[in-house]
Amino acid sequence: MEVILKQDVLNLGYANEKVSVKPGYARNYLIPQGIAILATDSNKKMLAETLKQKAHKEAKIKKSAEDLSQNLKDIVVKIGAKAAESGKIFGSVNAIQIAQALKEQFNFDIDRKKIHVDQEHIKELGTYKAKIHLHKEVHIEITFEVFAE
């Protein structure tokens, strides 16, 4: 029996995917729980339209991520931190501070969860690299400089 999944099911498939399951599993569990619907002709047409719209939205999101990556390509973010004379920072620099600096200096609003710093904790002055995951297929590496205030 073919059904269309409305949500992700472990070891079965993902949302908006047509899968073949045993009739009892579909009738007794998937359909009553609202996890799936029968794969009738009208439901298949609705699925095709949904996938078409989703692909269009996904292409739009990817295009905006690529445009943003072009703007971020050659910038150097400067982050000020209190430091000792030896060059060690009091505290550390993390993704939150990088996101704030991007917002203040260049007006790019990027979620801190999408920024990944190469080292776990940056505790010295210097120049470092961070990776920003803008989209599942668009990644960019930016340079940021930590200087003493």
Q: What is the pLDDT of residues 30-52, one digit of tens each?
A: 999 999 999 999 999 999 999 99
Q: For position 135, what pLDDT does the model report?
A: 87
Give residue 106's pLDDT band: very low, low, confident or very high (50, 70, 90).
Answer: very high
Q: For position 119, what pLDDT does the model report?
A: 78
79-81-85 Cα angle (round to 5): 130
Domains 2-62 and 69-148 share a fold: no
Q: What is the pTM of this model?
A: 0.68
H or E stretch covering 131? strand 126-135
Residues in contact with 19: Cβ distance below 8 Å, sequence separation at least 6, in sequence order: 2, 3, 4, 5, 12, 13, 36
**Cα–Cα distance for residue pair 81/144, rounded to 1 Å:** 13
Domain residue ranges in the chain: 2-62, 69-148
**At residue 116, what is the residue type?**
H
Work out the burial of residue 66: count CB atoms within 10 Å of its CB; fewer than 13 is exposed, 13-18 middle, 19 or more buried: middle
Which class in CATH covers the domain with range 2-62?
A: alpha beta
- The CATH T-level fold of domain 69-148 is Ribosomal Protein L9; domain 2 (3.10.430)
